[in-house]
Amino acid sequence: MNRQRGTVLLMALMFLVVLSLLGIAMVSSTSVEERMARNARDQDVAMQAAEAALRDARIRITGIYTNPPTPLNSWDFSDTCTNGLCTRNATQPVWSAYSLDTTPSQPLGTTTGSPSMLGVSAAPRYLIERIIIQQPGAAITGVASGVTAHRITAKGVGRSSSIIVQEVVIL
């Protein structure tokens, strides 16, 4: 009888070790899933911030934040991207030539009065580039030879992730 009691104790200890390892694995798995969900939420917040910056730039292009609405004109744009309004650079895109973290890019609501966003580590920012889209088959004769469009490049930042989006607006 005494021998069987030791075997039962050994089996109970082994069962306890297996259950402990299973519990540790479950806690680890839950922790990884929580981090994944947190990162997905952070990317969603960054995307929403970038979309808010796009919306703010469209409002600025159309001028509907003033009464009467005053759309941007070609004289508002410069080679130095003053106030986030850029002329097309033939050598490199403006989003690579100028920072989307500081000036000359414009933060959300600076010109239009759009409300700021909560839950982001930095205000969303944007650059507006004036471009000419050539008509198919048309001769390239200068600025007036195509359709004037505006390419908006916007950056949204969550707590740890950032997203850059672009949109072309033709009025």
Whether the Cβ atoms of residue 97 and residue 79 lie closer than 8 Å to each other: no
Specify the length of the chain in residues. Answer: 171
pLDDT tens, position by position, 25-60: 888 778 888 889 999 999 999 999 999 999 999 999
Whether the Cβ atoms of residue 154 and residue 54 lie closer than 8 Å to each other: yes
- 77 token code pair: 């744009």
Enclosing H/E stretch for 138: none
Q: What's this model's pTM, rounded to 2 decimal places?
A: 0.79
Beta strands in 114-145 (DSSP E): 122-134
Rg for the chain, CA atoms, rounded? 28
To 5 degrees, how large is the angle CA 96–CA 97–CA 103? 105
Cα 132 → chain centroid: 25
pLDDT tens, position by position, 73-131: 888 898 888 899 998 776 778 888 888 999 999 999 998 989 988 889 999 999 999 98
Helices (H), 63-155: 94-97
What is the C-alpha separation between 74 and 141, in angstroms, rounded? 18
Enclosing H/E stretch for 115: none
Look at strands 146-157 and 122-134 and give their pairing: antiparallel
Q: How confident is the model at residue 162 (pLDDT cuts 50, 70, 90)?
A: very high
